Structure 1
């Protein structure tokens, strides 16, 4: 069974403002993923700059077929 993580996030920018996402889903290739790995992945995948604090909230692992090819994440 394929696994994904569902979570909310809040990102603050160092030059002001921020973005947030609710019930965001991401394919994972293991049984779990750390909050730091999720934060890094979001920032890299969305090509965000001047990122301050990243908060991962309401994280849960779900069983659901992957939607796209899983790529290796950098730590």
Structure 2
């Protein structure tokens, strides 16, 4: 069985406002992922700009089949 991380997050924007997510799930490689790696992934994957503080909350590793299909790049 594959590993995923389930967590909540809060993101503040430097120009005001913010977004949050609850029970967000993400495929991971290995047995763990740091809060900083999660924050970076969210910001980059959602293409967010003017990001201030990112808070990762209620993080837990779960065993669940990966949902995202990984596309292999052709060179």
Same fold (TM over 0.5): yes
Structure 1: 5+ residue stretches without partners: none
TM-score, normalised relative to structure 2: 0.91
Structure 2: 5+ residue stretches without partners: none
Name the counterpart of 2:67.
67
Name the counterpart of 1:48.
48
Name the counterpart of 1:57.
57
Q: Structure 1 residues 29, 69: CA separation in 2 closer, same or farther (over 3 Å shift)?
A: farther
Larger Cα-atom Rg: 2
Task: Report the count of equivalent residues.
Answer: 71
TM-score, normalised relative to structure 1: 0.91
Q: Structure 1 residues 13, 56: CA separation in 2 closer, same or farther (over 3 Å shift)?
A: same
Q: Which runs of 4+ in 1 moved over 6 A?
A: none
Within-5 A mapping of 1:1-75: 1-69=1-69
- When the two chains are superposed, the root-mean-square deviation of aligned CA atoms in Å is 1.2
| CA-to-aligned-CA distance 1:34-74 (integer Å, 9 cap, x gap) | 00000000000000000000000000000000001358xxx
